[in-house]
């Protein structure tokens, strides 16, 4: 099967999250294809949960872009 952009499920570009003027997530980029498994590893406080929450819309991102199935997800508060 040939890969095309149409099988991109999630694309994150430059995701950042600030907490009380301190940047916890700094410019995260990744692309997930349909049916792909992805994991995030890192020490406590590295921003793993924040990345997951931003991608699942449980938390607003400070900046960056997020596309799901090719559609830009635009937060109302940016």
Statement: residue 78 has pLDDT above 80: no
Within-domain flag for 50? yes
Within-domain flag for 37? yes
At 5 the pLDDT is 54
Which pLDDT tens digit goes with each residue over 6-48? Answer: 799 999 999 999 988 888 899 999 999 999 998 999 999 889 9
Residues of the domain holding 44: 5-72
d(CA 72, CA 65): 7
Decide the pairing of beta strands 63-68 and 71-72: antiparallel
Query: pTM (2 decimals)?
Result: 0.78
Domains contained in the chain, number: 1
The Cβ-side half-sphere exposure at 46, using a 13 Å CA radius, reads 7
Q: What is the CATH number of the domain that holds 60?
A: 3.40.50.300
Within-domain flag for 78? no
Within-domain flag for 42? yes
């Amino acid at each position: 099967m040939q890969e095309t952009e149409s099988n991109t499920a999630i694309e994150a570009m430059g995701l950042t999250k600030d907490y009380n003027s301190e940047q916890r997530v700094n410019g995260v980029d990744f692309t997930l294809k349909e049916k792909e498994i992805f994991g995030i590893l890192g020490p406590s406080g590295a921003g793993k949960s924040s990345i997951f929450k931003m991608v699942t819309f449980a938390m607003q991102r400070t900046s960056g872009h997020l596309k799901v199935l090719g559609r830009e997800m635009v937060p109302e508060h940016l």
